[in-house]
């Protein structure tokens, strides 16, 4: 399948062609404006749509691009356009390092404060920006009319096609994991920080370029281009059009430009209608207009391909053993893990058992880096992995699954298969059989056998002692954070302390 | 002190809804506008206008909850962000269309002019703001800490599933919180509207300050929000006296960015761990 499909390709290419062939210059100007807003919108989709981060600085970056063009065009001519994109991207790169670590509501506030700062500078640093009057008379060397329209739409078409191509396959799946299940993403070795950085900077570059084009089109730049209404326009149009659909930004921009023209006599009412429409879309059609059209056409979005189990699970390289030495971890004053030591070899299946609250999941979290150990070491061969970030540990060779399936519409098997296909030599499975039917249990047991036969190591937590006895080479029993027994399944099951604490037989429980 | 009322309403709505209400600033402006209209139509003195404004805005708060917050409770917070941003735009544009963009003056609360206390000439309006603000903050504190109703509201904000499990009708309490938030916003708008006028575009500024107050004071902490708001008020007063309004705002934003980067849990800590 082509990334965009013929229908949307036509919709994308038609406006500029029609505008060039039949529309008067006023119509051409409007189509150019659509292209400009759409360009900013595509950039915004990267951060807001794909990563779900409410960035409220996109409008300010757009304004930054406009000012950069106005200041640079007299000297640099046409080169000022790419420079506008670079200025916005560089600004974003400079500030976003610390900002991207923030959680959603703080991120929104930080970007809002940033935008307010840019606006203040535009208004009050009059020497540079012309203050409230703005700048004018810089367009001598820049394209106008049909040439500008062609340039804007060429950039937009490239951006949309690239976007559609990029997010169609595994990258789209990665973005979804990051958005909806950041922990699972990290345990697959996806570096969320780098991803967000790339999306934010690329989005900023598009905003800057759009800002540059906008200044070229209007011939003047005033503090208004950095103001909050531009941001609202960008946000609402992307939401209206479809925040992740490749054509969402374009459709949104068409509405944002055409609606006020159509409702021109009604003055401010169009903004009212626009905001109301956004509210309606958020509530009843979160996939946006483009998604609605797709549904109406009967073209459901290509489902992200489920990870398929590869024919051969064999691995050659990678570390040979996972070693835990005296690992301990406490929450507040409670020791969740104390002095836990054992080893998992490649090709071996080790089961972790123990009563609720004995520290099994905490141990998996500590190995996977979701929690940091207070003491002890965890090594893959000679390499220490305790203290590394989750995605680095995943890349070093540890994959895992979760007690609850991280993505809404996914099966538990899908979660396990994803961990297997990540290629990690060691797998941590957290209660894969919880709530599973007998058939699913057999399926899981077969998967685990396959994985260990292919020479991978498995550490599996479950309450189904029969399942574990069947698939495991060794069992480790935890009680209140300590290893109370370890060895072959039969031995561990026969251990009196294990029987007392875990199997509920009370001969030793006095 | 009016900032404190805005921030107080903001944090109540935030805790109840679990997401930022971007329309909160516009509720403040709406409160001012209601005060203007009610004053024109009825000619009542300030203290009698106050309950009218509070009632109307309380109802608006419920409406906002119905439209933009409750239906999205199960979705990621970004959905509520966008919905309330849209709501804010609707209120702002509605006011612009209905009343025009020119600033209006809200009626004074307790007459204008000054009174002489111990040789200091103090404006009546600022004193009224201080007094009403203090009374309302105390009342909200009493409600939250000393009544069964308030305990339930706090239960809903700290864990809505647990609250539901013990039999609290969560939806009703979310709405109650938002009604209270709206009423507080309205009163703040009324009180500010005499001195600083009422204009549709002010909403974003009010919202931003409440947001900042809450972020600095510790996300979701009620006393933190009050301290944050007072801090912002003092900061603005002193810094703008020294370097002018524009640079005071700039300094405020820089300070906020610095706080977020260096101490993301707020100056006074986050009461509830909200790690993903």
Domain boundaries of chain B, sorted by first residue: 2-200
Q: What percent of chain A has pLDDT over 90?
A: 11
CA-based nearest residue in chain A for residue B93: A272
Q: Residues A346, A410: one domain?
A: yes
- Provide the β-strand partners of residue A398: A426
The predicted-structure confidence for B13-60, as pLDDT tens digits, reads as follows 777 777 778 888 888 888 888 888 887 787 777 777 888 888 888 888
pLDDT beyond 80 at B75: no
Q: Residue A163, SS3?
A: helix
Given this model, what pLDDT does residue A85 score?
A: 92
Contact A236 B85 (CB under 8 A): yes
Range of the domain at A137: 19-297
> What confidence category does residue B177 fall into, taking pLDDT thresholds of 50, 70 and 90?
confident
Of A236, A263, A297, which residue constitutes the final position of a domain? A297
Q: How far is B168 from chain A (nearest CA, A)?
A: 26
Tokens linked to A490 = 């039969």
Q: Residues A37, A168: one domain?
A: yes
Given this model, what pLDDT does residue A62 score?
A: 92
Cα A171 versus chain centre, distance = 9
Given this model, what pLDDT does residue B173 score?
A: 81
| Cβ neighbourhood burial of B8 (10 Å; 0-12, 13-18, 19+) | buried
pLDDT beyond 80 at A376: yes
Residues of chain A neighbouring B68 (CB-CB closer than 8 A) = 279
Residues of chain A neighbouring B260 (CB-CB closer than 8 A) = 98-99, 102, 106, 109-110
Q: Residues A407, A471: one domain?
A: yes
pLDDT beyond 80 at B274: no
Given this model, what pLDDT does residue B172 score?
A: 81
Q: Which residues contact A494 (CB under 8 A, 6 or more apart)?
A: none
Contact A110 B256 (CB under 8 A): yes
Question: Which of the listed ranges A214-218, A263-267, A311-315, B136-140 does the model predict with the highest average pLDDT?
Answer: A214-218
Mean pLDDT (whole number) for A165-181 = 80
Q: How far is A307 from chain B (nearest CA, A)?
A: 25
Rounded distance between C-alpha atoms, residue A99 and residue A108, angstroms: 10
Given this model, what pLDDT does residue A111 score?
A: 87
Given this model, what pLDDT does residue A435 score?
A: 77
CATH of residue A431's domain is 3.40.50.300
Q: Residues A339, A279: one domain?
A: no
Backbone angles phi, psi at A348, to 5 degrees: -115, 145
In a domain, A247, yes or no: yes
Rounded distance between C-alpha atoms, residue B207 and residue B53, angstroms: 19
Of A281, A297, A313, which residue constitutes the final position of a domain? A297
Q: Residues A326, A432: one domain?
A: yes
Given this model, what pLDDT does residue A447 score?
A: 86
Q: Residue B199, SS3?
A: coil
| B77 in A contact zone (CB under 8 Å) | yes
Q: How far is A467 from chain B (nearest CA, A)?
A: 32
Q: Residues A207, A263: one domain?
A: yes
Contact B253 A120 (CB under 8 A): yes
Contact A271 B89 (CB under 8 A): yes
Computed over every residue of chain A, the mean pLDDT equals: 83
- Pairs across A and B, CB distance < 8 A: 118
CA-based nearest residue in chain B for residue A110: B257
- Provide the β-strand partners of residue A342: A324
Mean pLDDT check: name the lowest of A225-229, A480-484, A485-489, B112-116: B112-116
> What confidence category does residue B273 fall into, taking pLDDT thresholds of 50, 70 and 90?
very low
Of A264, A297, A330, which residue constitutes the final position of a domain? A297
Q: Residues A282, A326: one domain?
A: no
Residues of chain A neighbouring B264 (CB-CB closer than 8 A) = 101-103, 106
CA-based nearest residue in chain A for residue B66: A283
The predicted-structure confidence for A302-341, as pLDDT tens digits, reads as follows 555 555 666 566 665 778 888 999 888 888 778 888 888 8
> What confidence category does residue B272 fall into, taking pLDDT thresholds of 50, 70 and 90?
very low
Mean pLDDT (whole number) for A157-182 = 82
Q: Residues A257, A384: one domain?
A: no
CATH of residue A176's domain is 1.10.3470
CA angle A441, A444, A449 (to 5 degrees): 125
In a domain, A176, yes or no: yes
Q: Residues A292, A412: one domain?
A: no
E strand or H helix that includes residue A271: helix A269-284
Whether the CB-CB separation of A156 and A38 falls below 8 Å is answered with: yes
The predicted-structure confidence for B126-149, as pLDDT tens digits, reads as follows 777 788 888 888 888 888 878 888
Residues of chain B neighbouring A114 (CB-CB closer than 8 A) = 253, 257
| B168 in A contact zone (CB under 8 Å) | no
Residues of chain B neighbouring A123 (CB-CB closer than 8 A) = 246
Given this model, what pLDDT does residue A390 score?
A: 85
Given this model, what pLDDT does residue B271 score?
A: 46
Q: How far is B228 from chain A (nearest CA, A)?
A: 15
Q: Residues A349, A242: one domain?
A: no
Nearest to B77 among A104, A114, A182 (CB): A104
In a domain, A506, yes or no: no
In a domain, A115, yes or no: yes
pLDDT beyond 80 at A267: no
> What confidence category does residue A2 fall into, taking pLDDT thresholds of 50, 70 and 90?
very low
Q: Residues A140, A197: one domain?
A: yes
Q: Residues A293, A375: one domain?
A: no
Give the count of domains, chain A. 2
Given this model, what pLDDT does residue A208 score?
A: 92
> What confidence category does residue A205 fall into, taking pLDDT thresholds of 50, 70 and 90?
very high
This complex has an ipTM of 0.80
Given this model, what pLDDT does residue B221 score?
A: 76
pLDDT beyond 90 at A207: yes
């Amino acid at each position: 399948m082509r990334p965009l499909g013929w229908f949307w390709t036509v919709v994308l290419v038609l406006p500029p062609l029609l505008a060039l062939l039949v529309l008067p210059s006023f119509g051409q100007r409007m189509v150019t404006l659509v292209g400009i807003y759409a360009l900013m919108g595509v950039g915004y989709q990267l951060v807001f749509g794909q990563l779900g981060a409410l960035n409220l600085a996109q409008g300010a970056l757009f304004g930054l691009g406009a000012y950069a063009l106005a200041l640079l065009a007299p000297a640099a001519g046409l080169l000022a356009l790419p420079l506008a994109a670079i200025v916005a991207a560089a600004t974003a790169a400079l500030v976003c390092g610390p900002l991207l670590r923030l959680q959603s509501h703080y991120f929104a506030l930080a970007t809002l404060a940033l935008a307010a700062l840019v606006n203040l500078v535009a208004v009050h640093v009059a020497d540079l920006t012309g203050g409230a009057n703005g700048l004018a008379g810089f367009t001598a060397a820049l394209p106008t009319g049909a040439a500008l329209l062609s340039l804007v739409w060429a950039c937009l078409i490239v951006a949309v096609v690239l976007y559609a191509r990029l997010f169609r396959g595994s990258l789209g799946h990665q973005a979804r994991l990051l958005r909806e299940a950041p922990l699972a993403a990290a345990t697959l070795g996806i570096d969320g920080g780098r991803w967000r950085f790339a999306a934010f900077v690329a989005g900023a570059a598009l905003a800057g370029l759009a800002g540059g084009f906008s200044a070229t089109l209007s011939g003047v730049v005033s503090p208004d281009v950095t103001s909050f209404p531009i941001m609202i326009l960008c946000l609402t149009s992307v939401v209206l059009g479809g925040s992740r659909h490749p054509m969402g930004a374009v459709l949104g921009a068409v509405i944002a430009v055409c609606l006020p023209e159509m409702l021109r006599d009604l003055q401010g009412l169009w903004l009212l209608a626009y905001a109301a429409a956004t509210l309606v879309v958020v509530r009843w059609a979160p996939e946006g207009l483009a998604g609605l059209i797709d549904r109406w056409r009967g073209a459901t979005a290509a489902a992200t391909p489920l990870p398929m189990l590869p024919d051969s699970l064999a691995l050659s390289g990678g570390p040979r053993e996972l070693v835990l030495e005296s690992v301990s971890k406490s929450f507040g004053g409670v020791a969740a893990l104390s002095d836990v030591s054992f080893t998992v070899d490649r090709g071996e299946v080790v089961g972790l058992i123990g009563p609720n609250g004995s520290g099994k999941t905490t141990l998996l979290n500590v190995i996977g880096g979701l929690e940091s150990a207070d003491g002890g070491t965890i090594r893959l061969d000679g390499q220490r992995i305790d203290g590394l970030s989750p995605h680095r540990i995943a890349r070093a060779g540890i994959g895992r699954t979760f007690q609850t399936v991280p993505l809404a519409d996914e099966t538990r098997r899908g979660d396990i298969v994803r961990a297997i296909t990540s290629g990690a030599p060691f797998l941590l499975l957290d209660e894969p059989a919880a709530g599973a039917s007998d058939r699913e249990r057999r399926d899981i047991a077969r998967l685990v056998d396959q994985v260990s036969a292919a020479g991978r190591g498995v550490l599996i937590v479950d309450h189904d002692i029969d399942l574990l006895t069947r698939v495991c080479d060794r069992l480790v029993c935890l009680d209140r954070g300590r290893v109370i027994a370890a060895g072959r399944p039969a031995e561990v099951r026969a251990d009196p302390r294990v029987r007392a604490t875990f199997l509920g037989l009370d001969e030793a429980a006095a | 002190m009016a900032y404190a009322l805005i921030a107080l309403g903001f944090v109540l709505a935030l805790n109840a809804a679990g997401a930022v209400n971007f329309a909160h600033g516009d509720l403040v402006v709406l409160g001012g506008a209601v005060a203007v209209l009610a004053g024109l139509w009825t000619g009542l003195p300030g203290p009698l206008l106050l309950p009218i404004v509070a009632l109307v805005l309380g109802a608006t708060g419920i409406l906002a909850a119905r439209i933009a917050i409750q239906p999205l409770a199960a979705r990621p917070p970004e959905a509520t962000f966008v919905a309330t941003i849209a709501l804010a735009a609707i209120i702002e544009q509605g006011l612009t269309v209905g009343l025009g963009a020119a600033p209006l003056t809200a009626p004074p609360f307790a007459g204008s002019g000054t009174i002489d206390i111990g040789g200091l000439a103090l404006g009546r309006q600022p004193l009224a703001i201080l007094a009403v603000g203090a009374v309302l903050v105390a009342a909200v504190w009493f409600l939250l800490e000393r009544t069964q109703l308030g305990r339930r509201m706090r239960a809903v904000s700290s864990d809505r599933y647990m609250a539901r499990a013990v039999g609290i009708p969560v939806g009703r309490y979310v709405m109650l919180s938002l009604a209270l938030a709206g009423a507080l916003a309205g009163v703040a708008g009324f009180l500010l509207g005499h001195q600083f006028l009422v204009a549709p575009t002010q909403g974003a500024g009010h919202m931003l300050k409440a947001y900042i107050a809450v972020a600095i004071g510790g996300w979701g902490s009620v006393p933190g929000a009050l301290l944050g708001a007072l801090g912002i008020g003092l900061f603005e007063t002193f810094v703008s006296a020294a370097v002018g309004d524009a640079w005071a705002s700039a300094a405020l934003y820089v300070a906020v960015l610095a706080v977020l980067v260096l101490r993301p849990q707020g100056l006074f800590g986050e009461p509830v761990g909200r790690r993903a």
